[in-house]
Amino acid sequence: MQDTHKEFIMVREYKVPREEVFKAWTDPKLVAQWWGPEGVFTPVCEVDAKPDGLIHIVMEAGETMGEHKGMQWPMDGKFVELDSPKKIVFTSNAVNGEKETHEYTTTVTFDEKNGKTTMTVHVVVTKLQPGMDYVVSGMEQGWSSQFDKLGKFLEK
């Protein structure tokens, strides 16, 4: 993989206290219910939310993904920092087929005002497999869809 520096920042507001949003990111039973873009589910969700705790998540394309149904996208990572309920930092890598496509660091902050939480997600891609630029170009759209699912989950 080659060193790179590509980043994006996304901000969402949810009408729940930040403790609830933080827990949705750190409790594996909750993460499994919203992780991945629309049409994708999470059959494997191992999240050990502590510094140096490991993350192993496998996303799988569901029925609505047509010809992609059953395709899986694993990711592995490690928590770097947890400051409950204010901040999470983790590193991760994604695999497409048998090939690791990219590595990235994600910083998520949670700010609460009047019972609403503003979640800011800053993703920095640090390594990229040659020819995998298309994966990074679709990341922001995938994360956006995932955060829509998180919003629906938090409304329940």
pLDDT recorded at residue 97:
67
For the stretch 62-83, pLDDT in tens is 888 788 888 888 999 999 999 9
pLDDT recorded at residue 65:
78
Highest mean pLDDT among 4-13, 88-97, 103-112, 134-143: 103-112
DSSP state of 156: -
DSSP 17-80: -HHHHHHHHH-HHHHHHH-SSTTEEEEEEEE--STT-EEEEEEEE-GGGGGGTT-EEEEEEEEE
- Across the strands, what pairs with 57? 45, 75
Look up the pTM and report it.
0.91
Domain that holds residue 54: 2-155
When divided into structural domains, the chain yields a total of 1
Backbone angles phi, psi at 113, to 5 degrees: -145, 125
Q: What is the CATH number of the domain that holds 22?
A: 3.30.530.20
